Amino acid sequence: MSTSARLAYFARTAIGSMVRSPFVHVIAVAALGLSLLGFGLARIAASQLDALLASLGGEVEFTVYLATDAPADQVDELEKALVNRTQGTLTRVSPATALGRLASQLGEQGRSLTELGENPLPWSLELKLPPHSRDPTALKSLAQKTRALPFVTGVDYGEEALERLGVISRALRLAGLIAFVLVFLTTVIVVSATLQLAIFARREEIEIQKLVGGTDRFVRMPFLIEGALQGVFSGALALAAVYAVVRWVERDGGDLVGFLMLDGRFVVAWGRMALEQLGLGVLLGLTGSFIAVRRFLRV
């Protein structure tokens, strides 16, 4: 039998089995689809929370306060070093500019600052940090080195807030990994259990195939194809359900999870989401069918 003929036979056998036993396969597809739906929604929620944390982080600034007698050449060298180290955008702020900002922030109470005889604020360097330069450990090390300079009186970069954002981000990633592992194990067990019923219903056919010389691979292949088809169907259903839920939340459920949305909507890469749902569905279906065949088929 040629390779194309074998593939056609395997496909006909798998599809025929699904048509003859629709209830068993509907249960498997439904269970797998629900698991993928939960995974997809959790994936979107985690992505939105990451985006929300990034927006809350906003323009993270690394501010260096200079002494009044700071040498101009050394300040220039420090500016170049900070920009090269972080790839950020640096601005030198004069005492007059800093006092004007403070007065603007205080509003009515800021008028009293204009009566000061001498400006108490120092020159400062404000470095806006890009997202890839906001690692708390690296910033802490940079702050320590900068504070050690004799013409620097202080450094501020919102250390506590940045560390809290980092902890939240790491916790979210860990929770997503745990959810993925639980979904994977649960779905594999469900798919494996449902395929056992299909294997049991076809035990006589399998015995005949073995008696006439059918190899283990020949007998297993239709069941693997069934698992893959279940994964494709469940992935497509889960993707459609995720899309419907997201659009419904954007339209009517804003009060419930509105804090997750940016500008009133979710930012979802649907092409990537489709590949993830279909790919994960096929992987889970194949894994469940392989375990069922290997453990219970005994071929």
Q: What is the dihedral of CA 100, 103, 105, 107, to 10 degrees?
A: -140
Q: Are residues 142 and 30 in the same domain?
A: no
Domain count, the chain: 2
Confidence label for 183 from pLDDT (cuts 50, 70 and 90): confident
Q: Is the pLDDT of residue 223 over 60?
A: yes
Here the CATH number for the domain that contains residue 146 is 3.30.70.3040
Confidence band for 52, pLDDT divided at 50, 70 and 90: low
Of 131-140, 142-151, 212-221, 267-276, the one with minimum mean pLDDT is: 212-221
> Do 211 and 288 share a structural domain?
yes
Of the two residues 253 and 33, the one the predictor is more confident about is 33
pLDDT, residue 109, reads: 62
Does 72 share its domain with 208? no
Q: Residue written as tokens 């020949």?
A: 218
Walk across the sheet containing 152-156 and list its strands.
89-93, 124-128, 61-66, 152-156
Q: Are residues 204 and 278 in the same domain?
A: yes
* Lowest model confidence (mean pLDDT) among 53-57, 162-166, 172-176, 244-248: 53-57
Of 113, 139, 157, the domain-final residue = 157
Same domain, 49 and 67: no
Q: Which domain range does residue 65 map to?
A: 61-157
| 160 or 97: which leads in pLDDT | 97
Q: Are residues 100 and 138 in the same domain?
A: yes
Same domain, 70 and 197: no
CA 130 to chain centroid: 20
- CB-neighbour burial class of residue 117 (10 A; exposed 0-12, middle 13-18, buried 19+): exposed
Nearest to 289 by CA among 198, 169, 155: 198
Are 173 and 152 found together in one domain?
Answer: no
Same domain for 51 and 66, yes or no, is no
Instruction: Pick 87 or 218 by higher pLDDT.
Output: 87
Comparing 72-86, 147-161, 201-215, 238-252, which segment has the lowest mean pLDDT?
Answer: 201-215
- Check whether residue 33 and residue 145 sit in a common domain: no
Per DSSP, which regions of the chain are E strands?
61-66, 89-93, 124-128, 152-156
Q: Which of 108, 136, 157 lies at the terminal end of a domain, its last residue? A: 157
- Which of 157, 178, 197 is the endpoint of a domain? 157
Do 173 and 270 lie in a common domain? yes
Residue 79 has pLDDT above 60, yes or no: yes
Res 169 pLDDT > 60: yes
Closest CA to 60 of 166, 216, 217, 141: 166
Does pLDDT of 184 surpass 90?
no
Q: Is 90 left (phi over 0), alpha (psi -120 to 50) or beta?
A: beta
Q: Tell whether 14 and 94 lie within a shared domain.
A: no
Structure confidence at residue 259 (pLDDT)? 53
pTM: 0.62
Q: Please measure the distance between the N-terminal and C-terminal CA atoms of the chain and give it in whole angstroms.
A: 21
Q: pLDDT band for position 249 (50/70/90)?
A: confident
